[in-house]
């Protein structure tokens, strides 16, 4: 009986680790200054890393955002979820997903990664 209890305990303790797996990201990134469009000449370059996720990686992030989706006013017909500066959109057909965010390299904080 002790052996079964120990085996069950080890099995249940290993479940969260077994459920976690690495997946490939799809999308793109760029490194630029703080201002995405028309940065001023005086702006420091290479201060932010911008990410645009697509495909399954964006779909997983969209589905993990536990907020209510709202109509997307920027890309027409889709639904958008936002938490802080992170934004994900599901297309009107529900088949395509995209997410945008940036990381301020110096402060290690998430900032906006897309202009509407």
Q: What's the per-residue H, E or C state across 31-76? A: EECCCCCCCCCCCCCCCEEEEEEEHHHHHHHHHHCCCCCEECCCCC
pTM of the model: 0.78
pLDDT of 10 above 80: no
Tens digit of pLDDT for each residue in 35-77?
Answer: 888 888 898 999 999 999 999 999 999 999 999 999 998 877 8
At residue 90, φ and ψ (nearest 5 deg) are: -105, 135
Q: Count the neighbouring beta carbons within 10 Å of the beta carbon of residue 116.
A: 9
| Helix, coil or strand: residue 60 | helix
| N residues, the chain | 116
């Amino acid at each position: 009986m002790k052996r079964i209890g120990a085996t069950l305990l080890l099995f249940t303790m290993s479940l969260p680790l077994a459920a976690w797996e690495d997946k490939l990201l799809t999308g793109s990134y760029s490194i630029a200054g703080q201002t995405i469009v028309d940065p001023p000449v005086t702006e420091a370059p290479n201060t932010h890393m911008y990410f645009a996720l697509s495909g399954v990686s964006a779909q997983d992030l969209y589905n993990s955002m536990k907020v209510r989706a709202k109509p997307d006013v920027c890309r027409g017909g889709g639904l958008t979820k936002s938490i802080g500066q992170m934004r994900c959109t599901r297309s009107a057909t529900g088949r395509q997903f995209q997410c945008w965010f940036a990381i301020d390299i110096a402060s290690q904080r998430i900032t906006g990664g897309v202009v509407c």
